[in-house]
Amino acid sequence: MFAGLVVVWQVLGWLADDPFFPPPSKIVTAANEWWVLEPANFTGHVVPSVVRLLSGWVIAGVIGVSLGLVLGRSDRAMEYAGPLLVFLRSIPPPALVPVFLLLFKAGTSMQLATIVFGVVWPVLLNSVDGARSVDVTKVDTSAVFRIPRWQWVLGVVLPAASPKIFAGLRVSLSLSLVLMVISELVGTDNGIGSQLMQAQREFDYTRMWAGIVLLGVLGYGLNTALLAVERRALAWQPRSRDEQHA
């Protein structure tokens, strides 16, 4: 299916000869010249972008899981924090880029703040939902055996909430890619986002499409890696027949 779409795109791009929509062959050539033949572009732009993306995603994941488990197991804490979380979650992260520029100046700190603020919510909300779904029998059994609080959280609550936590992590990973690009469009001279903007300003549309394709490949690769980690981490869970034959 994918190969067929690429072939159709190649034929239509070749027939139209439109500079705004180049065929895949020209995009691959531009990507090779941009990233492979000039390794400095790869190390100076792609690597920093990936580091920002993963750093922001990891920080948001730690904050979201930790806070989500606490709020999910405390009705009173959720009652107080709920309205504030709804308010903050309603703010579009790109709208806060000027605020983060004032607070952190242009640079990595501003970009990380944008990514973390935008991607923490799927992890947090899924962690809360997962912590609330702990089986009552497990809760009662832990109380009877007087399991220490930290051991109960790590050994009972966290494993029970893991499926929903991973679902939130997958959503947040996609969002972190988007916010990484948005944060790099302002106040920075390196990164994939800044190079896309530069290519657009120079009317180098083939190079711009090469950057867009690179983002797609990067997102696909990161999602595939996370799914592999998820399958291994949740291998202890029973799977349905459909999942077993997939």
What would the two tokens of residue 19 be? 């500079």
Please indicate, yes or no, if residue 245 is contained in any of the structural domains: no
Residue 59 lies in a domain: yes
Give the span between the Cα atoms of 246 and 227, in whole angstroms: 14
Predicted local distance difference test score (pLDDT) of residue 50 = 92
CA distance 108 to 187: 10
pLDDT at 137: 66
C-alpha count within 13 angstroms, C-beta hemisphere, residue 71: 21
Q: Is 41 a domain residue?
A: no
> Which residue, among 104, 108, 113, 109, has the nearest Cα to 191 in the 3D structure?
108
Domain limits for position 71: 46-234
Task: Give average pLDDT by consecutive 10-residue segment, the chain, 246 residues.
Answer: 76 75 83 81 86 94 91 81 86 86 83 91 90 70 64 73 90 92 82 86 87 90 92 72 45
Q: Per residue in 125-147, pLDDT tens? A: 999 888 887 766 666 566 656 66
Dump the DSSP string for 119-148.
Answer: HHHHHHHHHHHHHHT--HHHHHHHHHTT--
State how far the Cα of 54 lies from the Cα of 51, in Å rounded to an integer: 5
Is 86 exposed, middle or buried, given 0-12, 13-18 or 19+ CB atoms closer than 10 A? Answer: exposed
Report the number of distinct structural domains present in the chain. 1
Is 67 contained in some domain?
yes
**Predicted local distance difference test score (pLDDT) of residue 16:** 74
Q: Give residue-wise pLDDT tens across range 169-211.
A: 999 999 999 999 988 887 677 888 888 888 888 888 888 898 8
Helix (H, G, I), strand (E, B) or coil at 38: coil
Q: Tell me, letter by letter, the H, E, C secondary structure of 22-75.
A: CCHHHHHHHHHHHHHCCHHHHHHHHHHHHHHHHHHHHHHHHHHHHHHHHHHCCH
Q: In whole angstroms, what separates CA 123 from the centre of its chain?
A: 10
Q: What sign has the CA pseudo-torsion 66, 70, 169, 161? A: positive
Q: Is residue 22 part of a domain?
A: no
- Residue 4 inside a domain? The answer is no
What CATH number does residue 206 fall under? Answer: 1.10.3720.10
* 210: in domain: yes
Under a CB-based contact definition with an 8 Å cutoff, are residues 196 and 128 in contact? no
Tell whether 18 is covered by a domain: no
> What's the confidence (pLDDT) of residue 240?
47
